[in-house]
Structure 1
Amino acid sequence: MGEEEEEEETTVKSSTTVKVSSNQEEEAWNLRKETQIVELSERIMNGDLKTQIEAARDIRKLVRKSSAKTRTKLAAAGVIQPLIFMLLSPNYDARHASLLALLNLAVRNERNKVKIVTAGAVPPLVELLKLQNGSLRELAAASILTLSAAEPNKPIIAASGAAPLLVQILSSGSVQGKVDAVTVLHNLSSCAENIHPIVDGKAVSPLINLLKECKKYSKFAEKATALLEILSNSEEGRIAITDSDGGILTLVETVEDGSLISTEHAVGALLSLCHSCREKYRELILKEGAIPGLLRLTVEGTSKAQDRARTLLDLLRDTPKEKQLSSSVLERIVYDIATRVDGSDKAAETAKRLLQDMVQRSMELSMNRIQHRAASCTPSTIPSK
């Protein structure tokens, strides 16, 4: 046998040895993990309180280093129910350890999310939201956030009375607590029947305040404006937006500075206001200087945002002559927007196209109104010449 063949055979043997060794190590690790899962379930189900607290902490450590499969196996081993019982304990350490264990069991595991809620975790979590202790309260909010990501859990959480307590966190929680609370409310809002508990919880004012403080293009702003748009579809929500200090102005600023998603929701909220009572809200929106941002959005927004912005501009332009924008002011605004969009070389052409589009839409709107009035007139009410 030549040297090259010997070397090749040695390499193959070495590679085979490595694979065998690797497989053996993996099998040994899996066996240790299986044994650990059995031991943890035994300790959490049958131990005294001190043993249960230690077991809950070990469950958290194990799942943080493991895959979703380990989370599923722990749940199948029966650890969820004892952890939920620990949430009811007057002992702080028991509550804290069980909260962290349940939170980690639910992360990236839809089956465990549903199992935890089905096992009755929501009522004790809601009770923890009522505590003055910020740490436990915000861990409970984080747990509810994780659980609310599973669709089957949303109606159960919405019906639990959690929403008003989460709204309180919007006003008084830590930064992370506020982020979690907004995200939970956003998750729950995807079901139409969940809106009223959020409105009843007086969410609008703290949402406006949070939107004022955050970066308008952030993910947080996207969730906050999505909630505000939903809430603007109810009379309670519209009144709350108007009554909030700087409510309409904050939405106008989001139209100007927000991300594609947040601008779409912000203009949706403004449009909802104006549709509900044009005479009342049109003046308030115009007063906050909405026109430039809306004009920009007709060029730069998503297709939905562009349509909404055009519709709202039509509503806002239908004002008494003395309150309309003069042609020179409007042309200057459009030219400035065109410069930012296409650069100074093409600004004149873009501005001309935008103005032509606005004029065309205005003519179409006027014609529609004339036709509508003509159709609604009876022979006896048509004015004589």
Structure 2
Amino acid sequence: MALEDSSHCHLTDATIDTDSAATAASSPSSSSSTVNHTLLLLHSDDLDSRMEAAREIRRLTKTSQRYRRHFSVSVAPLVQMLRCQSADANVAALAALLNLAVKDDLNKVKIMEAGALEPIIDFLQSEHVTLQEHAAAALITLSAYPINKPIISASGAIPLLVDILVHGSSQAKYDAVLALYNLSTHPDTLNQILQTKPIPPLVNLLKSCKKSSKTVEKCTALIDSLMDFEEGRAALTSEEGGILAVVEVLESGSLQSREHAVGALLTMCQSNRTKYREPILREGVIPGLLELTVQGTPKSQPKAQMLLCLLRDTPYPRSELQPDTLENIMCNIISQIEGEDQLGKAKQMLAEMVQVSMEQSLRHLQKRALICTPADLPINSCGSEVPTK
């Protein structure tokens, strides 16, 4: 969306709520000269003055819930600034609105009711990088409120957010992932996300971002949810390096990322063991799964055990096993994990597994090292989560 700079953008009479501003300025809880002065500037006819007010609101509401309440009356004029033909004014107003909405559900609703969603959706398509980043970040905050989720999903935001995963800056990609994750927690939204073919850009982010990052955690959570659909499972399998990317998160991601990764693979194998067992095994998932039975979260440990069972030659218990084989060790972990001193036993078996499987895994690891080189990674780093701007 092209934006032309202009020196003036006049508020309509309906937008200027001077009575509310005067009430807020004169009330005992908001009587400071800073609040009074800022609200007066915000209702000025001069755009530069209104931008100064927006920046001050952004600063004051960055960490203060009290100021978020004081400046609730500023939502309407700030939303009007989103419609000005000035990128600087748009950025200033959007940043102020974002901070007003953080940890304040009343302001989240008020911002939506004031008509902010339409310009925010337009900003997702802007060539102005900061404006696009702020728009994606605003959707993270607004979509954190359950009532807003279906409204945002129906607005056309989802395909634009997925497009940002492909073409946006690193920060915009990070914010788009978090916004999509927030939206995905509402019923029926996952199917909308799936229709935009999100698996390829999500896999690319898994490959390129630090495995312990929040971006990877939310990417893996989305993939985990999308594996409930056959279309999602087929897309991950057909994407080059797709299953491998999930396996690598299972091996070295954060505890939450690993939980989502094993959940995604388990869902695939449970849905059609014959179809998905071999593609998962080919990526060397066994060592990571065994480690997860020891070091995983309470949710990921049983999932890892179930997946190990499904990845065996037969998913059913066998009465005779050859000693000192990887399968023997794997099955021992599964059968004894609920016994006494499970941690000590599992750690000992894990050490045996590493020794037994190292040689057979060497060729696979070498192949992976050749495939996943730094030159293949399109993003060097991903931003950290910032709740306010």
Output the TM-score relative to the length of structure 2.
0.72
The one-character-per-residue Cα deviations of 1:278-299 (angstroms, maximum 9, x if unpaired) are 2211111111122222222223
Give, in angstroms, the shift of residue 138 of structure 1: 0.8
The one-character-per-residue Cα deviations of 1:144-195 (angstroms, maximum 9, x if unpaired) are 1122222222222222211211112212222222221111111111112211
Aligned counterparts, 1:126-137, within 5 A: 126-137=121-132
Aligned residue identity for 2:71: L
Q: Which residue of 2 aligns with 1:62?
A: 60
d(CA) in 2 for partners of 1:59, 1:350: 57
Q: Which residue of 1 aligns with 2:252?
A: 257
Choose which of 177, 182, 198 in structure 1 pairs with 2:177.
Answer: 182
Give, in angstroms, the shift of residue 333 of structure 1: 6.5
d(CA) in 2 for partners of 1:172, 1:199: 18
Q: Which residue of 2 aligns with 1:374?
A: none
The question of whether the paired residues in 2 share the 8 Å contact of 1:63 and 1:104 is answered with: yes
The question of whether the paired residues in 2 share the 8 Å contact of 1:86 and 1:94 is answered with: yes
Change (3 A) 1:253 1:333: farther
Aligned residue identity for 2:197: K
The one-character-per-residue Cα deviations of 1:336-384 (angstroms, maximum 9, x if unpaired) are x99xx7599x8269969xxxxxxxxxxxxxxxxxxxxxxxxxxxxxxxx
d(CA) in 1 for partners of 2:56, 2:251: 49
Structure 1 range deviating more: 125-134 or 173-182: 173-182
The question of whether the paired residues in 2 share the 8 Å contact of 1:149 and 1:187 is answered with: yes
Q: Which residue of 2 aligns with 1:169?
A: 164
Q: Which residue of 2 aligns with 1:310?
A: 305
Q: Which residue of 1 aligns with 2:133?
A: 138
Aligned-residue identity in percent: 49
Q: Which residue of 2 aligns with 1:124?
A: 119
Unpaired runs of at least 5, structure 2: 1-27, 316-320, 338-342, 354-389
Q: Which residue of 1 aligns with 2:360?
A: none
Choose which of 42, 45, 70 in structure 2 pairs with 1:44.
Answer: 42
Change (3 A) 1:326 1:175: farther
Q: Which residue of 2 aligns with 1:373?
A: none
Q: 2:70 matched to 1:73?
A: yes
The question of whether the paired residues in 2 share the 8 Å contact of 1:242 and 1:248 is answered with: yes
d(CA) in 2 for partners of 1:235, 1:192: 17
The question of whether the paired residues in 1 share the 8 Å contact of 2:281 and 2:311 is answered with: yes
The question of whether the paired residues in 2 share the 8 Å contact of 1:282 and 1:315 is answered with: yes
The question of whether the paired residues in 1 share the 8 Å contact of 2:312 and 2:327 is answered with: no
The question of whether the paired residues in 2 share the 8 Å contact of 1:331 and 1:351 is answered with: no
Aligned counterparts, 1:185-200, within 5 A: 185-200=180-195
Between Structure 1 and Structure 2, how many residues are aligned? 312
d(CA) in 1 for partners of 2:30, 2:171: 36
Aligned counterparts, 1:1-385, within 5 A: 34-64=32-62, 67-75=64-72, 78-318=73-313, 328-330=324-326, 342=344, 347=348
Give, in angstroms, the shift of residue 229 of structure 1: 0.3
Change (3 A) 1:238 1:348: closer
d(CA) in 2 for partners of 1:34, 1:46: 19
What is the aligned-residue RMSD (CA, Å)?
3.0
Higher relative contact order, structure no. (Cα contacts within 8 Å, ≥ 6 residues apart): 2
The question of whether the paired residues in 2 share the 8 Å contact of 1:298 and 1:307 is answered with: yes
Change (3 A) 1:327 1:124: farther
d(CA) in 1 for partners of 2:324, 2:78: 69
**What SS does structure 1 have at the residue aligned with 2:197?**
coil
Give, in angstroms, the shift of residue 52 of structure 1: 2.3
d(CA) in 1 for partners of 2:257, 2:222: 10
Change (3 A) 1:327 1:163: farther
The one-character-per-residue Cα deviations of 1:214-243 (angstroms, maximum 9, x if unpaired) are 232333222111111001111221122112
Aligned residue identity for 1:247: G
Give, in angstroms, the shift of residue 134 of structure 1: 1.4
**What SS does structure 1 have at the residue aligned with 2:147?**
helix
The one-character-per-residue Cα deviations of 1:86-131 (angstroms, maximum 9, x if unpaired) are 1122222221221122122223323222221222211110111011
d(CA) in 2 for partners of 1:343, 1:67: 51
The question of whether the paired residues in 1 share the 8 Å contact of 2:207 and 2:245 is answered with: yes
- Which structure carries more helix by proportion? 1
Output the TM-score relative to the length of structure 1.
0.73
The question of whether the paired residues in 2 share the 8 Å contact of 1:53 and 1:97 is answered with: yes
Change (3 A) 1:156 1:316: same
The question of whether the paired residues in 1 share the 8 Å contact of 2:165 and 2:201 is answered with: yes
**What SS does structure 2 have at the residue aligned with 1:303?**
coil
